[in-house]
Amino acid sequence: MSKKTRFHAGNVWLEALCDFENELHEHVEKTGKDKVRLQDGRLFTSLTKEIKAKATGRDQWVAMFDCYQFVTDTSQHLGYDEALRLHGEEMKALGSRSARLFCSSLAKQFAQAPEPYLKELFRRFRSIAS
């Protein structure tokens, strides 16, 4: 991300959700009732596409972290309560920290050197997008 481009995680989520909605509508309209399939992975794909459109290289990971932090911030009351509950249960079952602890403890370190945390971030991001 260049200094000229302002990345806003909320806009990325909104654009990805619109993309997801359009793809889902198209799938339902064009597919027979007996061929409609589970949409697992489409939101994740839309999110990664939006991030890649707005950031390059290492900045993509920082953007992914920003998006994860944005959507898991319960103080924003985004309406993803069920998704957050399921994500929290998954993290607990994996023996991982809560989203809040993960984000608060790593925000500064991640921006400076994301490499040690990429695998965990990717797993968390995929989980919340599913």
Q: pLDDT for 27-75, tens place per residue?
A: 667 777 666 665 567 888 888 888 888 888 888 888 888 889 888 988 8
pTM of the model: 0.74
Q: pLDDT value at position 2?
A: 43
Cα dist. 95→25, 88, 98, 103, 120 in Å? 37, 10, 9, 16, 12
- pLDDT at residue 91 is higher than 70: yes
Spatial CA neighbour of 125 closest among 39, 55, 50, 61: 61
The pairs formed by 36-40 with CB atoms below 8 angstroms and a separation of 24 or more are: 40/130
